[in-house]
Amino acid sequence: MLLTTLEKKGLERFHALQADAADTVAGRFYQAHMAIYGQLWACGRQACHEEIKLHLEFLRPALEFGLLQPLVDYLVWLDNMLSVRAIPVAHIAESLEYLADFFSGHMEAADAKVVNTALLAARDTYLASRGAKPAPPQPPKPWPETAAFEAALLDGNQKGALAIVNCCIDDGHNLIDIELHIIQAALYHIGEKWQSNLVSVAKEHMATAIAQSVMTTGLLRSTQSGQTGKRVLLACVEGNYHAVGLRMVADAFLLGGWDVHYLGENVPSLTLVQEAKEWKPDVVGLSVALAHHLHAVKETITQLRQQPGDARPFVMVGGLAINRFEKLAKTLGADACGKDAQAALIHANRIIG
Ligand code: B12
């Protein structure tokens, strides 16, 4: 479903109101339901506030790009995440109505109508699909070793995880295949388990840390192709803390003979654009995990596009949010997208001769 979007001024007004809207609605919501939420969480008010802030972040793609699905996906995800933790979900829809009330009182009538149409359409679509477990993102096909690798990650068994990867390298597999079919597949499954409350946040963090260190060891054991003289600059856009996938993209380019500048997670647009101006990469790759990072990627691409003629790099986007909303790559102003580390390298080699 495509919605009417806000003009620049309306978007700026919405952005300026986000913090106030979260405060006001969380306050109203918490007051109305203190009896329930106060008992559930010692920090209930804070948690409620954080959730309302996220509602607004996921509303943004609807207002900027006319895309309702990110907000609906998020509401279904939230419903599922709260339900398995025995936290009531009946008030999710109500919080959207409170937000609509807030914007009616704080924006010009035409803009408030755009915002409220999106909020209420998301509410109705979410309610209609309640109970449906959101389809998890699909990783590359897991290999037989994936289950043992995942178990090692969750047991904190770094040596075991490394032994599995070493064994695969000894058998002649290349690191990128191992990263995709074992490490990425295991992390996706751990994400599903976390969502279902079967894995704690602490274990998820531990698994990520082990995966990263194993990847570094694997990289040291891998042979690089001859240097191509081509350059790629890779970064997670501002607000995106999911860096493991981008690290895999970096490994693919490194082993493919490219010079790589890997900037990691949460890179402010200004710094990123400055680095691109100074280093003059052939390709800039931007990682976008969640729908509310779409605004940051659009901003970054707009700034990269302002560089004159030949200095303008080819821009690729990727990450979970792009895989979910592939058609968005063009709307965001990107030249291409890549579904995984291997696809990213193949595409870049084809384009940059
Ligand atoms: C580890 C993890 C985290 C860690 C990340 C640590 C780190 N250093 O990276 C931390 C704790 C920070 C985290 C935080 C959050 N997370 Co998280 N996280 C994960 C988890 C379990 C694994 C991520 C990962 O490494 N995947 C493996 C990599 C290899 O896969 P990938 O990122 O898709 O990358 C591949 C492709 O997408 C592509 N690619 C990636 N980048 C690029 C770039 C270019 C240019 C190209 C071409 C291709 C490309 O190539 C990669 C390799 O093949 C996922 C589960 C999942 N399905 O991924 C959840 C997951 C992504 N997280 C989720 C959520 C909700 C969150 C939080 C909002 C939770 C919260 N309430 O705090 C925050 C948001 C933080 C933020 N603002 O970014 C949800 C997202 C749900 C949704 N709606 O999409 C997931 C799916 C978990 C779940 N099932 O609920 N998370």
Tens digits of residue pLDDT in 132-148: 777 788 899 999 999 99
Report whether residue 62 contacts ligand 1, using a CB cutoff of 6 Å: no
Confidence band (pLDDT; 50, 70, 90) for 6?
very high
Q: Is 249 in the pocket of ligand 1 (CB under 6 A)?
A: yes
Q: Which atom number of ligand 1 is nearest to the Cα of residue 246? A: 41
- Mean pLDDT, the chain, as a whole number? 91
Overall average pLDDT of the 77-104 stretch: 88
> What average pLDDT does this structure show over 67-89?
85
Give the integer Cα–Cα distance in Å for 68 and 89. 20
Q: State in Å: Cα 247 to ligand 1 middle.
A: 12
> Is it the case that residue 108 has pLDDT exceeding 90?
yes
Cα 29-39-129 angle, rounded to 5 deg: 55
Residue 254 phi/psi, 5-degree rounding, is -60, -50
- Mutation to probe ligand 1, out of 320, 328, 332, 345 (largest number of atoms < 8 A from CB): 320
Cα(345) to centroid of ligand 1, in Å? 20
Each residue's pLDDT tens digit, 119-134: 999 999 999 988 777 7
Atom 28 of ligand 1 has which residue's CA nearest to it? 245
Does the structure show a pLDDT above 80 at 36?
Answer: no
pLDDT band at 351 (very low <50, low <70, confident <90, very high): very high
Tell me if 100 sits within 8 A of 120, measured CB to CB: yes
Q: Taking phi first (over 0 means left), then psi (-120 to 50 degrees means alpha), and beta for anything else, what does residue 300 get? A: alpha
Q: Please determine, for residue 228, whether its predicted confidence score (pLDDT) is greater than 90.
A: yes
Atom 44, ligand 1: residue with shortest CA distance: 318
Which pLDDT score, from 0 to 100, does residue 15 have?
A: 93
Query: What are the tens digits of pLDDT across the range 161-205?
Result: 999 999 999 999 999 999 999 999 999 999 999 988 999 999 999
Average pLDDT (196-218) is 97
User: Looking at residue 70, what is its pLDDT?
Assistant: 86
From its phi and psi, is residue 283 left (phi > 0), alpha (psi between -120 and 50) or beta? beta
Label residue 104 by pLDDT band (50, 70, 90).
Answer: very high
Confidence at 217, pLDDT banded by 50, 70, 90: very high
The reported pLDDT for the residue numbered 38 is 61
More confident residue, 306 or 110: 110
- Where residue 27 falls among pLDDT bands split at 50, 70, 90? confident
Q: Contact at 8 Å (CB) between 63 and 118?
A: yes
Ligand 1 binding pocket mutation candidate from 180, 242, 248 (most atoms within 8 A of CB): 242
State how far the Cα of 262 lies from the Cα of 272, in Å rounded to an integer: 11
Q: Is 70 in the pocket of ligand 1 (CB under 6 A)?
A: no
User: Please, which pLDDT band fits residue 2 given cuts at 50, 70 and 90?
Assistant: low
Task: Tell me the average pLDDT across 292-306.
Answer: 89
What was the pLDDT predicted at 1? 60
CA atoms lying within 13 Å on the CB side of residue 276 = 30
Distance separating alpha carbons of residues 299 and 315, to the nearest angstrom = 13
Residue 248 Cβ contacting ligand 1 at under 6 Å: yes
338 lines ligand 1 (CB under 6 A): yes
Judge whether residue 42 has pLDDT over 70: no
For 185, residues 6+ apart whose C-beta sits below 8 A from its C-beta are: 139, 140, 141, 142, 143, 146
